[in-house]
Chains A and B, each alone.
Chain A
Amino acid sequence: MNVEDRLDSALDGDMLAVAAAREVSALVETGDEIGNAIAAWTLNPARRADIYAAALAIADATGFGERVRALGLDRRVQAVAGGAVVTLAAAAAVGVAIARGRRHTEAPLSA
């Protein structure tokens, strides 16, 4: 087994692979630290609502966003994101989303 395979087993929790070499153990430790650092990347509720509003604006190009709004999904997300203050922020973000939607018209991002 080469070192990449030993590392892979160790990252999947194989304690024998972790113990087999100090090098592998150190890399697992670094992997844990990276996982923690990435997990700490948390958007604030207003930004989440802003991005969601932008997603709806993009989806509006196919009429999908309007159907989602009719079902109340946008309100549900705003509630999850943090209540009335965020709802107001999201309402303000609609203007931003519309502007972004125009920008996407010029440089489409759809997959």
Chain B
Amino acid sequence: MAHRTAAELEEERLEILAAQRDRAAFAPLYERYVDQIHAYVYTLTHDMELADDVTAATFAKAMEELPRFEWRGVPYSAWLYRVAGNLVSRERRRPGWIELEPRMLPDAGADPALHAEENDRADEVRAAVAGLPHDQRQAILLRFGGDLRNREIAEIMGRSEGAVKLLTFRALTSLRKRLGAPMPAERLSRSGS
């Protein structure tokens, strides 16, 4: 997994500084992270409408907090994931919360390209992730969707780094058993990149 380089983090720090001076400069940050945050919330909740709402609330909070945001040398997404995770936790604590079954395909609002035949495997993989126990699902999404480090994931989840490693190991073991090896085309595309 490729974590952010020091140069990429520095570039992001400068983008945040620019957005703090001129809020119109927030747009690139929204564009960079909206898909990640939406995928995270949808995979945690299995509810497309709730994913839209929580993603919107996360970015509303981001805009509100921007003047007070302090750079800590970690990707901005770590802060966004924490806010989104807190919002999802709050929703899960509401009376009447029902854990919906994960669906193989996103609804019609998602990019039509996702429905193409070549993405069937990606749909299957996402559905398998969505079917994991909540803590394992969250650890996997933050590690492989957010490219965050264990200490960042541990902070977001309120767990130790050791616990995050164990959750990741258990989740990957379970997913490997369910999914088997990647398709040959997937292997070829990765080895060629």
User: Chain B: which residue is nearest A56 at the CB level?
Assistant: B60
CB <8 Å contact, B30 and A3: no
Which residues of chain B in 27-56 are interfacial with respect to chain A, using CB atoms and an 8 Å cutoff? 27-28, 30-31, 34-36, 38-39, 42-43, 52-56
> When chains A and B are docked, how far (Å) is the Cα of A81 from the Cα of B53?
19
Interface of B is mostly: helix
Q: Given contacts A36-B186, A41-B39, A47-B109, is CB(A54)–CB(B52) below 8 Å?
A: yes
B26 interface residue per 8 A CB criterion: yes
Interface size class of B (residues with CB under 8 A): 35 or more
CB <8 Å contact, B168 and A8: yes
CB <8 Å contact, B1 and A12: yes
User: Chain A: which residue is nearest B162 at the CB level?
Assistant: A4
User: Chain B: which residue is nearest A73 at the CB level?
Assistant: B24
Min CB distance, B83 to chain A, in Å? 5
Min CB distance, A103 to chain B, in Å? 8
B125 interface residue per 8 A CB criterion: yes
User: Chain B: which residue is nearest A30 at the CB level?
Assistant: B176
Interface of A is mostly: helix
Which residues of chain A in 1-46 are interfacial with respect to chain B, using CB atoms and an 8 Å cutoff? 3-5, 7-8, 11-13, 26-27, 29-44
User: Chain B: which residue is nearest A6 at the CB level?
Assistant: B169
The interface residues of chain A lying within 8 Å CB-to-CB of B30 are 52, 77
Q: Quick one: which of B113, B119, B175, B182 has the most chain A CB within 10 A?
A: B182
Number of A-B residue pairs with CB-CB distance less than 8 Å in the complex they form: 182
Min CB distance, B167 to chain A, in Å? 9
> When chains A and B are docked, how far (Å) is the Cα of A33 from the Cα of B181?
9
Q: Quick one: which of A32, A35, A50 has the most chain B CB within 10 A?
A: A35
Min CB distance, B147 to chain A, in Å? 8
Besides A42-B113, A55-B55, A111-B61, 7 other A-B contacts (C-beta < 8 A):
A11-B168, A31-B143, A33-B125, A47-B109, A51-B59, A54-B52, A59-B64
Where the two chains meet, the residues of A that have a C-beta atom closer than 8 Å to any C-beta of B are 3-5, 7-8, 11-13, 26-27, 29-44, 47-48, 50-52, 54-59, 62, 64-65, 67-68, 71-73, 76-77, 80-81, 97, 100, 103-104, 107, 109-111
